């Protein structure tokens, strides 16, 4: 698997996890059928897609990228669609998460055992 393919799988895992989380919120504790099905299918797809980068990259790096970018994207989605307010500390936190993921990805010398 090429490095580009690995990162495409990771990006797809992040996107499907974000969709799943949004659908889970819309499902009202899994009481609405369609959002519940979307959430379950997307969570399964996210974990399946995440399995590919885990073959070639350290788990800590993969998880930091996956969870960090998912947090940022879900926060943005909640701000855009649900009109959830983001104050200065929230924006600073999102910026720090993004910076942390970038630093780990670009500068970490972690390798697989």
Alpha-carbon dihedral 97, 99, 104, 106, rounded to 10 degrees: 150
Region 89-110 average pLDDT: 87
The radius of gyration of the chain from alpha carbons, rounded to an integer in Å, stands at: 15
Instruction: Give the tens place of pLDDT for each residue, 41-86.
Output: 999 999 999 999 999 988 988 998 999 999 999 998 988 888 888 8
pTM of the model as a whole: 0.85
* pLDDT, the chain, mean: 91
Using CA atoms, how far apart are residues 13 and 20, in angstroms rounded to an integer? 10
């Amino acid at each position: 698997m090429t490095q580009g393919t690995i990162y495409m799988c990771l990006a797809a895992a992040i996107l499907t996890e974000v969709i799943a989380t949004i659908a889970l919120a819309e499902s009202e504790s899994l009481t609405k059928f369609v959002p519940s099905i979307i959430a379950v299918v997307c969570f399964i797809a996210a974990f399946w897609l995440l399995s590919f980068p885990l073959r070639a990259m350290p788990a800590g790096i993969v998880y930091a990228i996956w969870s960090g970018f998912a947090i940022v994207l879900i926060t943005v989605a909640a701000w855009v669609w649900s009109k959830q307010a983001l104050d200065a500390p929230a924006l600073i936190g999102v910026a720090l998460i993004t910076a942390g993921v970038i630093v780990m990805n670009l500068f970490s010398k972690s390798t697989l055992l």
